[in-house]
């Protein structure tokens, strides 16, 4: 492990982030927060060219799975139960960590 983490985003994910920020914090903070996010050096943009439709219970979550696969990410980090239902998917394999699992790996990687 290189002690380096990257965040993969797609346009669909950015749109959802924008909707959530507007809903939670209002329109005035949305542009500033997204601009800051887009300036981070560890943010990688991915444009998935294929939609896998692996999550059937909440179709909206598939944008995250598609970005994960297209960017060849190591894992999806989420406490959303829909992601954990597909983590044993045979093809394509999907690695999912909940927040506590990721935090444990994060702390371990910096203590080694």
Q: What is the pLDDT of residues 73-99, one digit of tens each?
A: 999 999 999 998 998 889 999 999 999
Q: What is the pLDDT of residues 42-52, one digit of tens each?
A: 999 999 999 99
Helix, strand, coil shares of the chain as percentages rounded to 5? Answer: 50, 10, 40
pLDDT for 47 equals: 94
- Place 31 in a pLDDT band, splitting at 50, 70 and 90: confident
What is the average per-residue pLDDT within 27-43? Answer: 85
Question: What phi and psi values does residue 56 have, to the nearest 5 degrees?
Answer: -100, -25
Say what the pLDDT of residue 64 is: 97
């Amino acid at each position: 492990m290189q002690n380096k983490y990257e965040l993969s985003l797609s346009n669909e994910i950015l749109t959802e982030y924008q909707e959530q920020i507007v809903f939670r914090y209002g329109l005035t903070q949305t542009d500033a927060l997204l601009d800051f996010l887009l300036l981070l050096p560890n943010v990688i943009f991915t444009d998935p060219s294929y939609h896998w439709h692996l999550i059937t219970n909440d179709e909206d979550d598939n944008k995250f799975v598609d970005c994960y696969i297209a960017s060849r990410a190591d894992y999806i980090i989420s406490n959303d139960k829909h992601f954990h239902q597909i983590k044993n998917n045979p093809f394509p394999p999907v690695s999912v960590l909940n927040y506590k699992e990721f935090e444990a790996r994060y702390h371990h990687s910096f203590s080694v």
